[in-house]
């Protein structure tokens, strides 16, 4: 499974968050695209519209399990996708910004 470390992600890298709505609302990476894993196949078109054509899709969840499943699926579809190691827990621990749905400081649920 292709993986990327949080520290290797640059500001502006495309990020797909596959956590559930309550997790997203509590706190997420600003600018990430949110498609919960349970809705992912049905909403796949949203990803293809938003993702950079020649760029990588960095998939994140809370700890890395759900995002690994989605990254694997995307790779099978021919998309350059990687799992973000440690997920939002590591994202927050590394001091990367986490915001809630109002754009205020958030937390990882």
Instruction: Please identify which residue in the block is written with the tokens 């290797």.
Output: 8
Can you tell me the distance from the alpha carbon of 7 to that of 14, in angstroms, rounded to the nearest whole number?
A: 14
Residue 99 in contact with residue 27, Cβ under 8 Å? yes
What is residue 84's DSSP assignment?
Answer: E
Known catalytic membership, residue 61 = yes
Catalytic residue among 18, 59, 60, 61: 61
Taking the CA atoms of 103, 11, 13 and 60 in sequence, report the sign of the dihedral they define: negative
Q: Active-site residue numbers?
A: 61
């Amino acid at each position: 499974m292709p993986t990327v470390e949080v520290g290797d992600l640059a500001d502006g890298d495309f990020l797909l968050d596959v956590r559930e709505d309550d997790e997203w609302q509590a706190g997420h990476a600003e600018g990430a695209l949110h498609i919960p894993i349970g809705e992912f196949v049905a909403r796949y078109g949203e990803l293809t519209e938003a993702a950079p054509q020649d760029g990588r899709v960095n998939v994140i969840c809370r700890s890395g399990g759900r995002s690994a499943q989605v990254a694997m699926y995307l790779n099978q579809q021919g998309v350059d996708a990687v799992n973000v190691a440690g997920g939002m827990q590591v994202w927050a621990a590394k001091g990367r910004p986490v915001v809630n749905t109002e754009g205020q400081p958030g937390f990882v649920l």
